[in-house]
Amino acid sequence: MSDPEPLLPCLKEPDWPGSARSVCRRLWTEADSPYIPWLAFGYDQPHTFAFLSREQLSDLKKTEREIEREALRNLRLRKATWHSTSVKLGA
């Protein structure tokens, strides 16, 4: 059996309907603004991102803070890749 996918963070739009049932928090809590995105946690799968639900949190026996630390650590361990693109702007 293969290891489960690593837990990772994922940014979601401010009006994301999944925030009520997922393990997540506002990205910035110092201001009350309708434009601040959610920082959610879950598993990056080949064709989807499976968000960690609040119910699953109790099964893992971890706190939300522990989940966030694990997800950020896993993100730092991922190899970064990018592609350069040239874009002409203007007329």
For the entire predicted model, the pTM comes to 0.81
| Percentage with pLDDT > 70 across the chain | 96
Per the domain annotation, does 15 fall within a domain? yes
Per-residue pLDDT, averaged over 47-59, amounts to: 93
Residue with tokens 């890749």: 81
Beta-carbon contacts of residue 8 (< 8 Å; ≥ 6 apart): 41, 42, 43, 44, 71, 74, 75, 78
In total, how many domains does the chain have?
1
Domain residues for the domain of 61 are: 7-77
Per-residue pLDDT, averaged over 54-73, amounts to: 93
* Beta carbons of 13 and 37 less than 8 angstroms apart: yes
Per the domain annotation, does 89 fall within a domain? no
Q: What is the pLDDT of residue 8?
A: 97
Q: What is the pLDDT of residue 91?
A: 67
**Beta-ladder partners of 42:** 8, 51
